Structure 1
Amino acid sequence: MTSNFPVRPPLRTLVACLVLAFSAAAPAGAAEAAEAAAKAPSAAHPPAAVAHQAFEREVDAFLKDYWRLVPEMAVAAGQYAAAAQLPAPTEALRQAQLAFAERWLKRLQALPAKLALDAGQRSDLALLDNHLRGLQWSLSELRSDQWNPSEYNVANGFSELLSKEDFAPLPKRLALVERRLQQVPAYYRAALAKLKEPSPMHLRLAIRQSEGALDTFRSSIPEAAAKAKLAPARQAALLRHNAAAQRSLEQFIAELKALDARQTAAGSGRDFRLGRALFEKSFGYEIQASVDADGLYQRALAEKAALHQKMGALALGLWPQLFPGVAVPTERLDLIARVIDKLSERHATPEGFVDEIKAQIPALSAWVTAHDLLTLDPSRPLLVRETPAYMRGVAGASISAPGPLDPKGMTYYNVDPLDKYSPAEAESFLREYNHWTLQVLSIHEAVPGHYVQLLYSNKSSSKVKSLFGNGAMIEGWAVYAERMMMESGWGSVNGQPSPEMGLMYAKWNLRVVCNAILDYQTHVLGQGEAEAIQLLEREAFQAKTEAKEKWHRSQVSAVQLSSYFAGFSEILALREQLKAAQGPAFKLKAFHENFLSYGSAPVKVVSEAMLKAAKAAKP
């Protein structure tokens, strides 16, 4: 399972939707004003205050340019000035993007009075620097624009505009949609021209997701046009442009299928694996942890061994009641697998799967409030829905959250429908997401996981930390939320810890650990399917359907699977450091809310700030 954060994408995704609508000259105003102010501080505006204000103006100037650079991200963030733009991903565009990154790196480095910035602004500056350097690396070295055609998908931008009811009346939004529609044919022509021996795995993912995107043109836009009751001439023009956009997407799909057939016959196409050098670089920019990729891998191997030991003890305790009179297996992994398999018989029906998820949300919210773990915001709704077709094919569940500039936006808990499965596959899926693990899934995705963390992030005083959030922090918090809930007693029976929930939570936590192992072994060590399935089924106790889909996910993504364990292990370490330092003064709720107040900053950045503040507060 994963999460969708439209304004917080991995760098590989960001590059795919970059657009250009600004001149080659750096925008004037903020830097000059900052320099003048720094040279002439007044009594009313001491140097620190001047530097603070200058930096905020510089951030605003950067964002103004950035929204023109990435209008699709701007719409997701709640900024609509360039919502009608959909420039084609040409080579000229890539060169202009590189120039943008270089120009802003120099401009931010030259910002006067940097040393007078407060700690929060210094970390904002570091985040922007990392973001721009990662962008340069993606554009010049990774070059996924050439081998990953799944980056070329326009459906989300249209869906965002159609759903933003608080932004503007439907007729006005459809005017923007119509202008975007006219740019779709050129977009897909440029996308095809970019591709050079794409990875077969990413090519097939692109075909699948693009076929899902056709629903936007076949159904969503015509239905919106009918609902808006446009004048006949305007509706006819909109539908004409929509039909042309649909044809261009259909042609794109046909060309991808033909390319796939040619590559299959020739045995060609880029390996989906990044390899050590690219993986390490991507890990550094995207994860921003206190360890490198190899260090995290070694940490995960050690944690896997510790979890196996813990799970063996829990399984041994459950064995007599589940298998009375039956000899205990001599092999620990066999013992754990047998107990998990038996417990997994308790699960929802295919028809009741989504309803069970819906019922969990209010129960989880009530628990968080009753146990004083966090302050929740009941004014911000969460809607459980089927995952839109154009988003399927990577993970079975996700959160789509509004951007920080969209205060009234809806958060969606996306769940893939089970109709894609055969009866046997559906049974395998439901055993994986059984009575216990389905609860942990909703903790992770919803309360107090992604849904809650992103609401806090959107309220952060730092625009940079909210908009350019760190994926490892976001995923790490969701995994930490699972631990938090278990420690508070969630899943207990008559006030006593439930060994069933204990074992199933450990299994779930093991998947987080094995995500990182799978990611590294696939992209760096070059493991194949047989080795991956052995890890997932034998050592992580995952059902066949889950293991098969996780192997697919490891092929079409890289580094993201490492983010869960990276973020979680560092959040947990920070908590334990603060508990040791503060002793009886440590308050769990205060720790949670203080941590979340930093937006979606890297855990390393938050840790440094919180530990420093704790040290300063000591008498």
Structure 2
Amino acid sequence: MKKTALTMAVAAALALAGCTTTNTSSPSTAPVVAEASQNQEFIAFSEQFIEDMWRQYPEYSLHVGYGKYDDVMTIPNNESRASNLAFSKTKLSQLRSFDLNSLSNNQKTDYYLIENGLEKQIWEIEKFKSWQWNPSNYNISYGFNTILSSRFKSDEVKYKTVLERLKYVPEFYKTAQDNIDTPTLEYTQLAIAQNQGAFAVLTDDLLDKVDASDVLTADEKALFKTRFANAKTAISGYISFLTKLEKDLTANGNARSFRIGEELYEEKFAFDIQSGYTAKTMYEKALADKARVTKEMVKLTDQLWPKYFPNTARPAGDTQAIAKLIKHLSVNHVPKEKFVDEIKRQIPLLEKFVIENDLISLDPEKPLVVREAPEFMRGFAMASISAPGPYGAKENTYYNVEPLELRTEEQASSILREYNHWILQILNIHEAVPGHYTQLVYANKSPSIIKTILRNGAMIEGWAVYTERMMLEEGYGNHEPEMWLMYYKWNLRVICNTILDYAIQVKGISRDEGLDLLMNGAFQERAEAEGKWRRATLSQVQLTSYYSGYREIYDLREKQKEKLGKDFNLKAFHEEFLSYGSAPVKYINQLMQ
């Protein structure tokens, strides 16, 4: 089994301990030996846990590039759920046999991550039960796309792996239909749209390529065609099933509410965010920060008003004045047909700024590819990052952007005003450099593979949000007040994500109230606000991860600056922070202290 750097470091420490503690009868050395033994046993447990997890969850192993189980597809039936429960409970029992106080700080963090992951899996199967009411959970597109888009697999490996996986598809979708019981209307509609995107992965062009290749035998090619046809029939059948279900749910009003309520929300927040705060406390902090950021926007509006409206009196209401200025500035944007091209153009400029200002080291060998979002990924977010896991670290990282050509003129115009000249740059900082793309490259180098695999979404999103402000503080945009005004507008969006998500899921606010919060409280365009409302109906807690992670990272940095004084180095802080993988910020905080 491949040893991690952490494994080798501890092994070296154990060897050293063995050389210096020969007198085992000495009471002063016994605790050291016991602790070293616990460390060694935990390393062995962690390595075996990872191997067993890939066997238990082959789709996840495919996602991280492990490779050994790429030809396996789990059928999501009662038997597999029972197996997953047994796995989680057994591993949890094994984990808790360790004396936590005898583990190193790094291992304690891994312990907490494993424990949280196992407890969450049990909770999701036994209590949350999204496998019953979220039809979008069932989509075979991701696995096939990952295999076919690999730069490091030969055609022979790709086609034979796809051939093997295709045999599972009919039973997969039959089981999916059996699982679904009173779903939400919103998830049903998403599942229809995203599963239609499967036909953009399993294409006739793929069939032609397989037929023209010489890597499969004639019998294998014939079997490929048969399984390929059966798979497409199964996907079409699932879409037809969901389409009829959608009509029935709409007609009789029996759809499950997308609101999960306070109890489930607090529990999911604890599992997903791992922040140390309750969801309610984070909601209250967001309300306070919303007021603070709005005051900063008032100051900038007062500064910029004479420049853009020299002959117009400023409105008496602060909200009206900010909104008018933002609306005036937002017409500065690229044409819709240049949207993706402009994102491509900006990435090298961001890399140049980061390098010249010595903010963090970048890896030139890890490519970032800007692309139009594949069809099966659309309908959730305008932009996203698809990064390889630790076993496939040399694969491309994809920056997925939904093309605007498919939108109406009104929708595209609204989106472009939202992602205007200034905010598009902030978006690229967030998604690419030095945000998500940079952080996930570092995560794949972490000496603890546990921290990379069982990654914390709040840390990942929080880092991307943190880099937006950090870049501006370091001079990106030349401290232009327009850039800062738009940054605060963007930051309000992050803050209001938390407010909106909690208010929807727990307080039950209406769509009109949600849109009012986003459009009048956070100065968002209607298309963006409507998209965010939709997204909030298709997820729970995830929207809070941006603000909670950002707040904790920024606070940690300020605490380190105060502690180290003139010895504080921003680049060193960034690289040490990222060296711990995608662990929750509260654990990274402990390690850095």
Q: TM-score higher than 0.5 here?
A: yes
- How many Å separate the matches in 1 of 2:442 and 2:142? 24
What amino acid maps onto 2:483 in structure 1?
M
- How many Å separate the matches in 2 of 1:181 and 1:464? 31
Distance apart, 1:503 and its partner CA: 0.3
What amino acid maps onto 2:80 in structure 1?
L
Task: Please say if residues 77 and 404 of structure 1, whose CA atoms lie closer than 8 Å, have aligned partners that are also in contact.
Answer: yes
- How many Å separate the matches in 2 of 1:50 and 1:367? 47
Q: What 5-or-longer segments of structure 2 have no aligned partner?
A: 1-13, 22-32
3-state SS of 1:327 partner: coil
Segment drifting more, 251-260 vs 80-89? 80-89
What amino acid maps onto 2:438 in structure 1?
V
* RMSD after superposition: 1.6
Distance apart, 1:419 and its partner CA: 2.1
Report the equivalent of 1:267: 253
- How many Å separate the matches in 2 of 1:215 and 1:370? 41
Report the equivalent of 1:344: 330
3-state SS of 2:66 partner: coil
- How many Å separate the matches in 1 of 2:321 and 2:208? 54
Q: Do the aligned partners of residues 540 and 97 (structure 1) sit closer, same or farther apart at CA in structure 2, a change above 3 Å counting?
A: same
Which of 96, 101, 116 lines up with 1:109 in the alignment? 96
Distance apart, 1:218 and its partner CA: 2.6
Which of 519, 527, 530 lines up with 1:545 in the alignment? 527
Distance apart, 1:228 and its partner CA: 3.8
- How many Å separate the matches in 2 of 1:346 and 1:223? 45
Please list the CA deviations of residues 307-336 of structure 1 after superposition, one character each: whole Å capped at 9, or x if unmatched. 111101111211112112111111101000
Report the equivalent of 2:503: 521
What amino acid maps onto 1:183 in structure 2?
Y
Give the number of equivalent residue pairs. 567
Please list the CA deviations of residues 226-246 of structure 1 after superposition, one character each: whole Å capped at 9, or x if unmatched. 564444442232122111100
3-state SS of 1:399 partner: strand
Report the equivalent of 1:617: none
Report the equivalent of 1:286: 272
Report the equivalent of 1:11: none
Report the equivalent of 2:155: 170
- How many Å separate the matches in 2 of 1:223 and 1:298? 57
- How many Å separate the matches in 1 of 2:351 and 2:66? 30
Report the equivalent of 2:480: 498
Distance apart, 1:274 and its partner CA: 1.1
Tell me, yes or no, if structure 1 residue 150 matches structure 2 residue 132: no
3-state SS of 1:385 partner: strand
Task: Please say if residues 217 and 243 of structure 1, whose CA atoms lie closer than 8 Å, have aligned partners that are also in contact.
Answer: no
Tell me, yes or no, if structure 1 residue 395 matches structure 2 residue 381: yes
Q: What 5-or-longer segments of structure 1 have no aligned partner?
A: 1-37, 612-619
Tell me, yes or no, if structure 1 residue 65 matches structure 2 residue 47: no
> How do 1:513-592 and structure 2 match up within 5 A?
513-592=495-574
Which of 142, 145, 150 lines up with 1:159 in the alignment? 145
- How many Å separate the matches in 2 of 1:515 and 1:114? 36
Report the equivalent of 1:182: 167
- How many Å separate the matches in 2 of 1:222 and 1:324? 64
Task: Please say if residues 337 and 405 of structure 2, whose CA atoms lie closer than 8 Å, have aligned partners that are also in contact.
Answer: no
Report the equivalent of 2:435: 449
- How many Å separate the matches in 2 of 1:369 and 1:499? 24
Segment drifting more, 72-81 vs 381-390? 72-81
Report the equivalent of 2:76: 89
Distance apart, 1:49 and its partner CA: 3.9
Which of 315, 318, 322 lines up with 1:332 in the alignment? 318
3-state SS of 1:414 partner: strand
- How many Å separate the matches in 2 of 1:359 and 1:228? 37
Please list the CA deviations of residues 117-146 of structure 1 after superposition, one character each: whole Å capped at 9, or x if unmatched. 211011101110011001111111100000
Tell me, yes or no, if structure 1 residue 50 matches structure 2 residue 32: no
> How do 1:185-584 and structure 2 match up within 5 A?
185-219=170-204, 221-222=206-207, 224-226=209-211, 228-229=213-214, 230-492=216-478, 497-584=479-566
Distance apart, 1:220 and its partner CA: 6.1
- How many Å separate the matches in 2 of 1:115 and 1:505? 44
Q: Do the aligned partners of residues 117 and 339 (structure 1) sit closer, same or farther apart at CA in structure 2, a change above 3 Å counting?
A: same
Please list the CA deviations of residues 182-236 of structure 1 after superposition, one character each: whole Å capped at 9, or x if unmatched. 1000000001100110000111011111111222223464255256444444223
What amino acid maps onto 1:510 in structure 2?
L
- How many Å separate the matches in 1 of 2:208 and 2:189? 29
Tell me, yes or no, if structure 1 residue 597 matches structure 2 residue 579: yes
Report the equivalent of 1:17: none
Q: Do the aligned partners of residues 239 and 435 (structure 1) sit closer, same or farther apart at CA in structure 2, a change above 3 Å counting?
A: same
- How many Å separate the matches in 1 of 2:341 and 2:585? 35
3-state SS of 1:405 partner: helix
- How many Å separate the matches in 1 of 2:351 and 2:551? 25
Task: Please say if residues 218 and 246 of structure 1, whose CA atoms lie closer than 8 Å, have aligned partners that are also in contact.
Answer: no
Q: Do the aligned partners of residues 299 and 223 (structure 1) sit closer, same or farther apart at CA in structure 2, a change above 3 Å counting?
A: farther
- How many Å separate the matches in 1 of 2:211 and 2:424? 39
- How many Å separate the matches in 2 of 1:551 and 1:473? 23
3-state SS of 1:352 partner: helix
- How many Å separate the matches in 1 of 2:330 and 2:18? 69
- How many Å separate the matches in 2 of 1:558 and 1:420? 28
- How many Å separate the matches in 2 of 1:555 and 1:204? 12
Distance apart, 1:420 and its partner CA: 2.3
- How many Å separate the matches in 1 of 2:20 and 2:168? 51
Please list the CA deviations of residues 473-518 of structure 1 after superposition, one character each: whole Å capped at 9, or x if unmatched. 00000000101100011011xxxx2111010011011100000001
Task: Please say if residues 537 and 547 of structure 1, whose CA atoms lie closer than 8 Å, have aligned partners that are also in contact.
Answer: yes
- How many Å separate the matches in 2 of 1:227 and 1:334? 63
Report the equivalent of 1:609: 591
Report the equivalent of 1:26: none
Following superposition, which runs of at least 4 residues in structure 1 exceed 6 angstroms of deviation?
Answer: none
- How many Å separate the matches in 2 of 1:272 and 1:374? 41
Segment drifting more, 83-92 vs 43-52? 43-52
Q: Do the aligned partners of residues 69 and 354 (structure 1) sit closer, same or farther apart at CA in structure 2, a change above 3 Å counting?
A: same
Q: Do the aligned partners of residues 599 and 108 (structure 1) sit closer, same or farther apart at CA in structure 2, a change above 3 Å counting?
A: same
Report sequence identity in percent: 43
Report the equivalent of 1:78: 65
Q: Do the aligned partners of residues 290 and 187 (structure 1) sit closer, same or farther apart at CA in structure 2, a change above 3 Å counting?
A: same
3-state SS of 2:391 partner: coil
- How many Å separate the matches in 2 of 1:224 and 1:121? 48
- How many Å separate the matches in 2 of 1:148 and 1:250? 18
3-state SS of 1:474 partner: helix
Segment drifting more, 236-245 vs 271-280? 236-245
Q: With the length of structure 2 as denominator, give the TM-score of the two structures.
A: 0.93
Task: Please say if residues 459 and 584 of structure 2, whose CA atoms lie closer than 8 Å, have aligned partners that are also in contact.
Answer: yes
Please list the CA deviations of residues 563-592 of structure 1 after superposition, one character each: whole Å capped at 9, or x if unmatched. 000000000111111111111111111111
What amino acid maps onto 1:280 in structure 2?
E
Q: With the length of structure 1 as denominator, give the TM-score of the two structures.
A: 0.89
Report the equivalent of 2:25: none
Task: Please say if residues 161 and 173 of structure 1, whose CA atoms lie closer than 8 Å, have aligned partners that are also in contact.
Answer: yes
3-state SS of 2:201 partner: helix
Task: Please say if residues 51 and 114 of structure 1, whose CA atoms lie closer than 8 Å, have aligned partners that are also in contact.
Answer: no
